[in-house]
């Protein structure tokens, strides 16, 4: 962030969240509440992890923003079918509208949204940015800002250059990575050894389950993963993001040599402009991987602060 980036507090490494569940249309959605100042200086934030991840993926950002000595209330949730949230099996249980409703249910259940005048900042990573976008469009003026962390502005089929079935096959990890917990953690560590710490290990462990044979399997339920991916391929950002009244900040990870991701974001921005919405503020991290909460927690935290201030 170049112009007047908000000051991000140092991480509170002693901070620990409390876990709760909230009812969302009959399904229990789990969230972690990192707390915040008793007299809020800004709207609270509800953060949504990406496909296959849990609320713990947001720990590096939560340590910087939440807690009694932090600058805002920080809540992160588990998507349905992930982590400690329910994994319903009914047809349509992973429709995007329902996932957006889950985000709102967490905001209300965590008492971030109580009064009609309350507003919440929503932040989503990858697929979580899609769920957050649906919630932001539904909330209207009760959403103070939306942060899209490397996702949420693209047509997935066009961006991935593949269909949904091929995409699902590509999610399978190599057998050698899943042969044991040490092998899995070693693989995750090697993504970027300098950012690997106890928080990253905890977040990684939450994404898998160790079997009696010593192998690991994804903790996200297979039926939920498939249904979520199929819903993701139905997402139309040109229909959803122009309906979001709040300011939007988009953080783009990895290279975009062909410019396709920037073009997709420009198309969304043009539709928002036509609808009289605020422009999307964009920051690119060309040499960083998808998980910007791990690689760039200060910048993600700053984007959340800035969008809440309307910067």
- Provide the pLDDT for residue 2: 45
Flag whether pLDDT at 42 surpasses 60: no
Q: Residues 215, 179: contact at Cβ < 8 Å?
A: yes
Mean local confidence (pLDDT), 123-144: 97
3-state secondary structure of 299: helix
Query: So what's the pLDDT on residue 287?
Result: 86
pLDDT mean over 102-107: 98
Reference 35, options 65, 80, 10; nearest CA is 65
pTM reported for the whole predicted model: 0.95
Largest CA distance in the chain: 57
Looking at residue 110, its pLDDT comes to 96
CA 198 to chain centre: 20
Determine which helix (DSSP H) or strand (DSSP E) holds 295, and give its type and residue range.
Answer: helix 292-295
Residue 175 three-state SS: coil
Percent of the chain with pLDDT over 90: 86
Domains, the chain: 18-160+221-308 (3.40.50.1820)
Instruction: Tell whether the model's pLDDT for residue 129 goes beyond 50.
Output: yes
Confidence at residue 241, expressed as pLDDT on a 0 to 100 scale: 98
How far apart, in whole angstroms, are the C-alpha atoms of residue 309 and residue 241? 19
With cut-offs at 50, 70 and 90, classify the pLDDT of residue 258: low
pLDDT per residue as tens digits for the range 179-195: 999 999 999 999 999 99
Please report the pLDDT score of residue 310 as a whole number. 66
Q: Average pLDDT of the chain?
A: 93
Name the pLDDT band for 309 (thresholds 50, 70, 90).
confident
How far apart (Å, rounded) are the C-alpha atoms in residues 37 and 51? 30
> Looking at residue 69, what is its pLDDT?
83
How many angstroms separate the CA atoms of 249 and 280, rounded? 6
Tell me: pLDDT of 152 over 70. Answer: yes
- With 50 as the cut, is the pLDDT of residue 33 above it? yes
Mean pLDDT across the stretch 150-154? 96
Q: What is the pLDDT of residue 6?
A: 87
Q: With 90 as the cut, is the pLDDT of residue 51 above it?
A: yes
Task: Quote the pLDDT of residue 38.
Answer: 62
Sorted by sequence, the CB contacts under 8 Å of residue 128 that are 6+ apart come out as 47, 48, 49, 50, 51, 53, 79, 149, 151
CA distance 122 to 148: 9
Does pLDDT of 225 surpass 70? yes
The whole-number pLDDT of residue 296 equals: 97
pLDDT in tens, 66-92: 998 889 999 999 999 999 999 999 999
């Amino acid at each position: 962030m170049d112009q007047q980036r908000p000051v991000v507090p140092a991480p509170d490494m002693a901070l620990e969240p409390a876990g709760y569940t909230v009812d969302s249309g009959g399904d229990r959605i789990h969230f972690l509440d990192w707390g915040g100042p008793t007299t809020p200086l800004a709207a609270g934030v509800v953060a949504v992890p990406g496909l296959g991840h849990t609320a713990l993926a947001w720990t590096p950002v939560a340590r910087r923003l939440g807690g009694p000595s932090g600058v805002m209330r920080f809540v992160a949730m588990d998507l349905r079918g992930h982590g400690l949230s329910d994994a319903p099996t009914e047809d349509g249980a992973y429709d995007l509208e329902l996932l957006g409703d889950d985000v709102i249910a967490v905001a209300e259940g965590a008492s971030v949204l109580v009064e009609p005048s309350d507003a919440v900042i929503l932040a989503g990573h990858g697929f979580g940015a899609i769920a957050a976008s649906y919630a932001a469009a539904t909330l209207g003026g009760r959403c103070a800002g939306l942060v899209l962390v490397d996702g949420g502005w693209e047509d997935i089929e066009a961006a991935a250059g593949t269909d949904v079935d091929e995409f699902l096959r590509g999610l399978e990890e190599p057998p050698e990575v899943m042969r044991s917990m040490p092998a899995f953690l070693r693989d995750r560590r090697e993504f970027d050894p300098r950012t690997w710490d106890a928080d990253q290990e905890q977040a990684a462990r939450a994404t898998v389950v160790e079997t009696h044979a010593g192998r690991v399997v994804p903790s996200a339920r297979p039926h939920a993963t498939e249904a979520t991916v199929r819903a993701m391929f139905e997402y139309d950002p040109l229909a959803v993001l122009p309906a979001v009244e709040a300011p939007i900040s988009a953080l783009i990870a990895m290279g975009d040599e062909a410019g396709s991701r920037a073009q997709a974001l420009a198309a969304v921005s043009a539709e928002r402009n036509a609808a009289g919405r605020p422009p999307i503020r964009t920051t690119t991290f060309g040499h960083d991987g998808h998980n910007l909460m791990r690689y760039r927690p200060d910048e993600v935290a700053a984007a959340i602060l800035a969008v809440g201030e309307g910067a």
